[in-house]
Structure 1
Amino acid sequence: MTDMAEMAGAAQAVGADGGSDWRAWQESWDRQQEWYMPDREERFRVMLDMVEATVGPAPRVLDLACGTGSITDRLLRRFPDAVSTGVDLDPALLTIAEGTFAGDDRVSFVTVDLKDPDWTDRLPYPTYDAVLTATALHWLHREPLAALYGRIATVVRDGGVFMNADHMIDESTPRINAAERAHRHLQMDRAKAAGALDWAEWWELAAQDPVLAAPTARRFEIYGEHADGDTPSADWHAGVLREHGFAEARPVWRSPSDALVLALK
């Protein structure tokens, strides 16, 4: 089994200039997230397929609740002519994102609180071809999430899209849900025994990094250990998006527990 010291060495690589290796941190975040969602790359692939299908291969994208910039990273590798604005409130994840994309004039980052009704005023562009987010908005309860969807609708251009890939639970199938959850956690236990990092261990390593220690402390002051939001069904998300100005909305990808909902303006 991989111990914490070995994991720390893998995550806290030093760059050529003697500073933090942001690509190593980016990749360690991806591996930690994949422990929870082994099909994470598949949802990203479908998301970018639908970006290309609806708004073309050179989109202006708002990476909403961007974290370390996982969506932006995949967006630019697939569409070199795209531009991306990443927004988040987490100072530690934004530090990694800013370090990863330093010097890339296609990318900018803005610190915003998505619960602030005026957060869109801080964006560098008035509208976007696509607003994309993944595994982030379940931190919000239904009422603030619905309000957020209304604000998102104001920055998606006519003909543009919003996509949210997240935990979306169909509460009408409790036995199916329980069986899926038990199987998923069995697989997670096996991966953990093989050395996979979980959420708490990843943040423990971040707190030990000389550059990330201070923003990690600020991050926990803002959020605490983990926020408790809602995970309503994909149908709920689609319905609320239509109520807030999108012409069409439906899931375009599903797993047993998650979904990717696309809304077309």
Structure 2
Amino acid sequence: MTDTASVADWQAWQRSWDRQQEWYLPDREERFRAMLDAVEALVGPEPRILDLACGTGSISDRALRRFPKAVSTGVDLDPTLLTIARGHFTAESRVTFVSADLRDPEWTRRLPHRSYDAVLTATALHWLRSEELTALYGRLAGVLRDGGVFLNADHMPDPATPRINAADHAFHKACQARAREAGTQDWADWWRTAAEDTALAGPVAERFRIFGNPADGDHADGEVQSADWHARTLRAAGFAEARPVWCSVSDAMVLGLK
């Protein structure tokens, strides 16, 4: 099979997830670098990190390699991605994982620490509707210590530039088509492969029960907003400062300083 991992080879599954995500986000590593640069600049090289909607732990993986004295808590609801994350980090004492629904008003009670230096998330919160994200930002203001930093890198298109947006969309679709011809997996392909692995079949079935089958389009309820909307909403939620600190044509990273 193309781009598959052997049963219970968690490191291979982590690499497979990264490749699938890079098909959609060719600048993924650049945004991670910019994110961790901001963390170091604002809270130093020994952060206590909350990896929000962590997936397989891609942010934690890069943060712990860059910051040897960092610790991280990964939070997600997806049982498949958490299974891979726990397997990948099984020998790593600096990271813990928590299963929680970010729409639950009480989800922060499950965290092992009362406060964090940095809350980091990438390409995940567009799953939430705007009112849900507004409520989440308010809860995050209560999780960060004073002077702590929140960074959200996600789809944040600017509706004021429709021709630029359309050209960028067409360009990336053409790049993706070439990659698909070369055998790169997309989102639905990756989940089909995961369902065939005996170590992941159970978590995948549970994931489909919670979120639906990716082949059916399971982002239907989410919403995207502009970077300016995110910055305004963070300030209204209690952040002292908030603004975009990185962007591509269709994506941006907004930083909120507590």
TM-score, with structure 2 as normaliser = 0.97
Residue by residue, what CA displacement relative to the aligned partner does 1:203-259 show, whole Å, maximum 9, x if unpaired? 001000011011001101101131221110000000000000000011111011100
**Count of residues paired in the alignment:** 253
Secondary structure of 2:193's counterpart equals helix
- Tell me what 1:173 maps to: 161
The answer for the alignment partner of 1:239 in structure 2 is 232
What letter matches 2:154 in structure 1?
Answer: D
Unaligned runs of 5+ in 2: none
Residues 151-171 of structure 1 deviation map (CA, whole Å, 9 limit, x = unaligned)? 111001000000000000111
Letter in 1 for 2:219: A
Contact 2:5-2:16 within 8 A present in 1 as well: no
State how far apart, in whole Å, the 2-side matches of 1:100 and 1:12 are. Answer: 13
Shift of 1:136: 0.3
Query: What do the CA deviations read for 1:33-92 (whole angstroms, capped 9, x no partner)?
Result: 000000000000000000000000010000000000000000011001100000000000
- Say if 2:127 is the partner of 1:134: no
Aligned to 1:227: 219
Which letter does structure 2 place at the counterpart of 1:27?
A: R
Matched, 1:35 2:23: yes
Write out per-residue CA displacement over residues 140-181 of structure 1, whole angstroms, 9 at most, x where no aligned residue. 111101001101110010000000000001111111111110
1:191 aligned residue: 179
Partner of 2:200: 212
Distance 2:6 2:39 in 1: 34
* 1:116 aligned to which of 104, 110, 133: 104
**Residues 1:63 and 2:56 aligned together:** no
Q: 1:259 aligns with which of 246, 252, 257?
A: 252
Letter in 1 for 2:61: D
Q: Does 1:161 align with 2:149?
A: yes
Identical columns (%): 67
Matched position secondary structure for 2:29: helix
Q: Is 1:146–2:139 an aligned residue pair?
A: no
CA–CA distance in structure 2, aligned partners of residues 12 and 234 of structure 1 = 36
Shift of 1:132: 0.2
- Matches of 1:232 and 1:159, distance apart in 2: 26
Residue number in structure 2 paired with 1:17:
none
CA contact (8 A) 2:35 2:151 kept: yes
Partner SS state of residue 145, structure 1: helix
Where 1:24 maps in the other structure, the secondary structure is helix
What's the CA shift for 1:105?
A: 1.2
Indicate yes or no: 2:20 matched with 1:22: no
What RMSD over aligned residues (CA atoms) do the two structures have, in Å?
0.8
Q: Equivalents in 1 of 2:249, 2:172: separation in Å?
A: 10
Choose the corresponding residue for 2:81, options 81, 93, 97.
Answer: 93
SS for the counterpart of 2:138 is helix
